[in-house]
Amino acid sequence: MLRQTLLPRRDFLAFGAAAAATSLLPGKIFAAIPTGVKVHGLSAFGDLKYKPDFTHFDYVNVDAPQGGTFNFSPPNWGQNQSPLTFNTLNSFVPKGDAPQRMEMCFDPLMVRALDEPDAVYGLIADGVTISDDRNGFIFSLRPQARFHDGTPLTAEDAAFTFKLLKDKGHPDYSLSLTHLDDAVAKDAHTVELKFSGKQSARTILNVVGFPILSKAFYTANPFDSSQLNPPLGSGAYKVGRWSAGAWIEYERVADYWGNDLPVNRGQNNFQRIRIEFYQDRTAGFEAFKKGEILYREEFTSRVWATAYNFPAFVAGKVVKHEFPAETVPSMQATAVNQRRAQFQDPRVRQAIALCFDFEWTRRNFFYGSYERSQSCFEKSDFRAEGMPSPAELALLEPLRDKLPPEAFGEAVTQPASDASGRDRKQLGRAAKLLAEAGWKRSGDFVVNDKGARLPAEFLVDDETFVQVYSPWVANMKAIGIDASIRLVDSAQYQLRQSTFDFDLISAAFSFSATPTRDDLEIFFHSRSAPISGSRNLPGIASPAIDALIDAVGAAKDRESLTVAMRALDRALRARRDWIPSWYLANHRSAYWDMFGFPEQKPDFGFPVEALWWVDKGKAAKIGKA
């Protein structure tokens, strides 16, 4: 399954002395932070955990040794990055295929703490001052900040970056910057971001995590996907050796300017991080078995259940371990592209969903290891349950004429099948829905009033999903849908996804623990539907959904945020824009037993490449010294 993160920041999945006395009060977003006073961090709700004099995050090992190579298969990615190939080193634009983890080469103004749901602390910026109208944010930049060529990173670079990303950046960036009026370098080490007042109060929590780019580099080089010229960065790593489409190495910067900052201590411990690209999962697993790959998350249930019997595993050199998943909302689902006329009727989308026999798939393909997804915000308190609460109804009722009636009843769920693989009751219901939507049976297919069939093609880039989706396609054919699967290479898949050239496509995403309006707009808002590269894969364009996203953005405390998110989830599920599929409660991790890692995993992130380290004793024991 496509594994992506919403955030283009470092978790990319990745906010002063005054702050200690001005911690955030519940119910008042940023309200307890006075204007005109420099603070070391920002958080949407509640106190900041870390005070101005903190020395490191609690979830790191500050004594971790540094060195060694970490060759791994990243389980998540964002923007235009691909896990299968790369043809550009610019991961900040809509087009092209960039390698995973390019974000490690760039520092942002601030970074998230992975043991808090929404707090950010200074990296390039040592603090921020909020303007009197709370629409301006003045960041003081650390004078020691440097790019990898030794040149200073200045406010001019920061101002240039935000304007560039707003104008030409990937939608993961540009949508959050819609209401940025200006970015101004007030002096060499002070940059001000000025917003229009239409932005969400929490927009700044996203924006501060954007990479700061070199104005000099992107003045001399085009800001597009045409080049494999390593861009000039400022982060803990820089691009080392690489072979386009095959592998890339990131080398730790020996004189990295931010090495001893509190937000970095105990992290970035590997001397070299290497990523190899495989066109299919079998090849990647074979490389892991040989020790060419040292860490992987296993997303194929059959492999996890039956294939870990190779010599290195039997000898105890390879470990299987399940780490708890993050406590953040996630969605794994199939998008039904409503830009195609045949999918605009929700009854058609519901009929397609009824053809998916999860219970049979779970038993025959997943070895019982997955749970059925029902929500767009699975594994979180934002998942709608039962009947809407009075507070949810207060948000939904004004939109009654713009939402399906199901949004006002029991939260829509995907019904359980009889696990036969061909549940006659559900297929009969699906056929009836098609008939109600105007599709009449004619021979082996249903047709509309013009005699045209109902095509429904799954777009996939991995043979695994040809196997998983074939029974689903067979059921769709049984009720007359002209269903099929199209397997394409990774470059074509990326292009067709970003330009919405598909009928059905599956994806998995994680949201931040405190979703912002900007986060949700990328996925569900009318504004993102026509923007190439956005995550609005179904093409949702609903004034009611837009209004509920606005309600999320206006939430003043976590309780009202939860109410708004549940109302949004309820409405999205009633619309059937996405067909929920499945989820895992844990990370199924496998690795060669040569690493150390913090005993306590943080709740809101799992960047193994940043937090783990080589344990020389373990490595020697298994012959990997």
Using DSSP's 3-state secondary structure scheme, residue 419 falls into coil
Q: Does the pLDDT of residue 13 top 50, yes or no?
A: no
Residue 598 burial by CB count (10 A; 0-12/13-18/19+): exposed, middle or buried?
middle
- For residue 608, what pLDDT band results from cuts at 50, 70 and 90? very high
What is the Cα–Cα distance from 180 to 314, expressed in whole angstroms?
56
Tokens of 45: 């709700």
Helix (H/G/I), strand (E/B), else coil: 225: coil
Longest CA–CA span in the chain (Å) reads 75
Q: Kindly list the distances between the CA atom of residue 529 and the CA atoms of 377, 386, 538, 546, in Å, as whole numbers in the listed order.
A: 20, 30, 8, 12
Is pLDDT above 60 for 196?
Answer: yes
Rounded to two decimals, the pTM is 0.88
30: pLDDT strictly greater than 90: no
Query: How far is the C-alpha of 550 from the C-alpha of 568, rounded, in Å?
Result: 10
Strands 330-336 and 318-324: unpaired
| pLDDT of 32 | 56
Mean pLDDT on 87-114:
96
Asked if 328 and 604 touch (Cβ cutoff 8 Å), the reply is yes
Cis peptide before 13, with omega less than 30 degrees from 0? yes
pLDDT tens, position by position, 361-397? 999 999 988 999 999 999 999 999 999 999 999 999 9
